[in-house]
A and B are shown apart, each in its own frame.
Chain A
């Protein structure tokens, strides 16, 4: 492991890579503060830049920096103007914004910065210890198990995607898989479902779909409902940056607990930073006693520290399945996976063996990214917040323009823009009806890999029998079914219990 750390250090500490991680953090923080551009959209915008660097480890370092910066920036706008630009910072607003209203914005931002830093750092340490262990397990995986593993990833994502809406999430995932079959498959040299349209020969563009599913609906929502952006209010007073010794003692155990819990949740494919932040908030609220518990939601420092450390640790945790198994644990890592594949790096168990410098450089750059972010956040926050004062009449056209550019630059094809707008409208309507959109994109990204592995194992084993002959495959598929069914079973039981029907435990 020590050898790996040294290798990572030497890669990550090259002047170019340090510049990239600093630049990535800066870009991520600035754009992440703008409502409507979460880490997913920012990373999607940055992919062409990253790909043009050419060196996969440098590209991944840049994107990881952008990722952390965006999560950090998102919490800034959540705290200052109650506008969470990212789903994972929604929990931050619960106690962050009340603190701003009480004139403690500076303190809130400091607590957020420190919690995020600690969460990210503890996450990186855990990643270093546990990722190699996961790899040794993963090396025994064949294409049959890979297929099953993808199914687990898909089902977990669908199950976590909404409360009591498993049917919709499953439908969205399947729709994503269907969209992935458009165009030429890897194993068959025949175009499928292109309807004779040349532009669909190579399938739907991945960035186009990402933009249409996330950035565009959010921008349309901002237009539809001006109160969502609320940039007219201006930023809150920023003073009183210091936290007292007593406050530090109060939040330290919270940060410690939530960093570990957040990391573990982040490792599970499908859970991700959003779930981790909500769960962290809920757990800390349950642990807190009496007066402390009352303060939650009214400006509790604990209530701010918990989701912040949890979501940063989870972001680091979500790199474990991405780097070791090739499974994206969240929408953002799904986009990162797409970026990796376009750099012709195949994430998976072989990554650590074949290209250890990429693996370790990313982990080391996480430390550097965290330090850079702390340095950025503490003294620069008063100035950074000024970006939020951009009036929405200027902000929204720019958001739309960047979505268009993101799709155009990748393909250099104007038809792609029409597809983008068309899908964007569909996605907005789907969002009106409470359909989760992340499963669709994750299904789309996993789809071709799922089919390839399925086809490969079918050809190797000469039929569908492989599912029953390989215990590991079977176990994983059963696990996937359980993950899909458990949430609806729980919801059903809760409903029955509400109706006064005894359950048979």
Chain B
């Protein structure tokens, strides 16, 4: 079974859980006065879940024959090993680390480290250039966001107290 049909199967599972929640759990907490309404909070989700399960089923069963042509600029997932999958995974992990560190470590340090580490993962080795570019960009963006947009970003780590 091709990847797209597996995905459709997973989406169908999600929709079934969603539908279960809509059909069997939501109406219990509905206050009596709202039960006279022609439409309940669960009405729309019920309709959606049925439609989505049907649509997913049609993809899973391959009811619609595809023309077999895939996007020319696309990536063939069957040969994922030929691509730089390690770099992509490392960058995604880096983004997660960035998300977790942004508050505790402060914007300036996390962003500089993120930009430098991102370049390193992609194979850049000109250290001084990387650090200078990252520093300029980080401070510049922080100043822009802080002063122009007026959005507070904690600049320094939490133990510095600001």
Contact = CB atoms under 8 A, between A and B. Distances in A.
Interface of A: 48-49, 52, 90, 163-168, 170-171, 174-175, 177-178, 181, 185, 188, 190, 192-193, 220-221, 223-226, 228, 391-394, 396-398, 400-401, 404-405, 408-409, 412, 414, 417-418, 420-421, 424-425, 429-435, 451, 454-455, 458-459, 462-464, 488, 491, 495
Interface string B80-113: 0001110110011001101110110000000100
B95 A400 contact: yes
15 contacts: A163-B67, A164-B64, A168-B4, A168-B8, A174-B15, A225-B75, A394-B124, A397-B119, A401-B111, A405-B141, A424-B92, A430-B7, A431-B74, A433-B7, A454-B44
8 closest A-B pairs by CB: A397-B118, A417-B99, A393-B124, A433-B4, A432-B77, A224-B83, A174-B52, A188-B41
A396 B91 contact: yes
Main secondary structure of the interface of A (DSSP, over half): helix
A398 B115 contact: yes
Interface residue SS majority, chain B: helix
Contacts of A491: 67
Nearest to B51: A174
Contacts of B8: 168, 171
B45 interface: yes
Contacts of B96: 418, 421
B119 A393 contact: yes
Contact of B114 (A181, A397, A462): A397
Interface of B: 2-4, 7-8, 11, 15, 18, 21, 26, 29, 34, 37-39, 41, 43-45, 48-49, 51-52, 55-56, 58-59, 63-67, 69-71, 73-75, 77, 83-85, 87-88, 91-92, 95-96, 98-100, 102-103, 111, 114-115, 117-119, 122-124, 130, 133, 137, 141, 145, 148-152
B122 A393 contact: yes
B127 to A, nearest CB: 12
Nearest to B30: A190
B136 to A, nearest CB: 12
Contacts of B124: 391, 393-394
A203 to B, nearest CB: 13
B109 to A, nearest CB: 14
